[in-house]
């Protein structure tokens, strides 16, 4: 069920009987010369909508702009600063709790959002308002990602390229895949910006001239389909697990 498609009287029965919401989040940022800036939020919304369709749980509108300041040197990248992002996500989640939602899955497709979503979830849990957890699609299927790609990225690499080839093929510049590979770097290790145990980089531009890593020429829509179906299964399993938990069991333990 997509919240934005429903009239308010028709949502009453959902809020009376269910307590889960899926919140898709991504970014609007550079993904190299070959992928759209919408890459992350397109992927997040596709997963959240698919899981909502399969489970009947509620999917909210997508948060399209995330913590992406580390891509600011590239044209068109949009971002919000971390405190404002955390405040917005927490406020939106509290809004859901006012309708009876007490558990939320942040269906996330942007690595820069992860620590901030974790912090918001921890605050809401500590306040015993809601149990909100972050889910990242590629982290749910690491073995498959490793099996499909020799150099998988992480940013703008073949896993994201394959996913957009599958979901929104018209938005991929397939004629630029070799350019993306040759203008980027295979990995952060290859960039040489981890020195003596310290991550000496702050921005994507510190690592790669064109903003991406990995071997984009290894991407195919078929691989994207495999990734999407496998990770969608994992998200559905997570929804089912979360629905089975008594809310009290999800709250912080008592002091010893």
Q: Give me the tens of pLDDT residue by residue for the chain, a chain 256 residues long.
A: 999 999 999 999 999 999 999 999 999 999 999 999 999 999 999 999 999 999 999 999 999 999 999 999 999 999 999 999 999 999 999 999 999 999 999 999 999 999 999 999 999 999 999 999 999 999 999 999 999 999 888 899 999 999 999 999 999 999 999 999 999 999 888 888 999 999 999 999 999 999 999 999 999 999 999 999 999 999 999 999 999 999 999 999 999 9
State how far the Cα of 256 lies from the Cα of 253, in Å rounded to an integer. 8
State how far the Cα of 61 lies from the Cα of 45, in Å rounded to an integer. 8
- DSSP alpha helices (H): ranges in the chain? 8-17, 39-55, 82-97, 114-126, 142-148, 158-167, 177-183, 188-191, 221-244
User: Domain 3-192+202-250 - what CATH class?
Assistant: alpha beta
**How confident is the model at residue 159, as a pLDDT?**
97
Dihedral of the alpha carbons of 193, 115, 44, 249, in degrees to the nearest 10: 150
**What Å distances lie between residue 207 and 40, 82, 125, 236, 253, CA to CA?**
20, 22, 36, 35, 42
SS3 65: coil
Residue 14 backbone dihedrals phi, psi, to 5 degrees: -65, -50
Residue of 196, 162, 224 lying closest to 35 (CA atoms) = 162
**How confident is the model at residue 154, as a pLDDT?**
87
**How confident is the model at residue 148, as a pLDDT?**
97
Residues facing 24 on adjacent strands: 107
* Residue spans per domain, the chain: 3-192+202-250
Residues facing 20 on adjacent strands: 103
**How confident is the model at residue 248, as a pLDDT?**
94
State how far the Cα of 207 lies from the Cα of 40, in Å rounded to an integer. 20
pLDDT digits (tens, 9 = 90+) for 58-107: 999 999 999 999 999 999 999 999 999 999 999 999 999 999 999 999 99
User: What residue has token string 């531009």?
Assistant: 205
């Amino acid at each position: 069920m997509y919240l934005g498609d429903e009239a308010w009287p028709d949502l009453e029965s959902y809020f009376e009987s269910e307590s889960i919401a899926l919140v898709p989040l991504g970014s609007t940022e550079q993904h190299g010369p070959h992928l759209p800036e919408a890459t992350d939020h397109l992927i997040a919304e596709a997963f959240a909508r698919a899981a909502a369709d399969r489970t009947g749980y509620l999917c909210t509108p997508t948060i399209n702009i995330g913590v992406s300041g580390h891509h600011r040197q590239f044209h068109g990248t949009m971002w919000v600063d971390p405190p404002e992002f955390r405040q917005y996500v927490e406020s939106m989640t509290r809004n859901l709790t006012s309708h009876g939602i007490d558990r939320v899955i942040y269906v996330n497709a942007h690595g820069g959002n992860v620590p901030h979503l974790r912090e918001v979830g921890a605050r809401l849990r500590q306040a015993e308002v809601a149990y909100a957890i972050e889910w990242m699609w590629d982290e749910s299927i690491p073995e498959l990602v490793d099996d499909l790609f020799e150099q998988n990225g992480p940013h703008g690499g073949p896993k994201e390229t394959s996913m957009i080839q599958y979901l929104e093929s018209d938005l991929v510049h397939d004629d630029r895949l070799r350019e993306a590979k040759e203008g980027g770097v295979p990995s952060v290790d290859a960039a040489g910006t981890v020195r003596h145990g310290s991550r000496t980089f702050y921005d994507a531009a510190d690592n790669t001239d064109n903003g991406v890593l990995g071997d984009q020429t290894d991407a195919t829509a078929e691989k994207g389909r495999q990734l999407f179906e496998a990770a969608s299964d994992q998200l559905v399993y997570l929804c089912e697990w979360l629905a089975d938990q008594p809310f009290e069991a999800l709250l912080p333990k008592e002091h010893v």
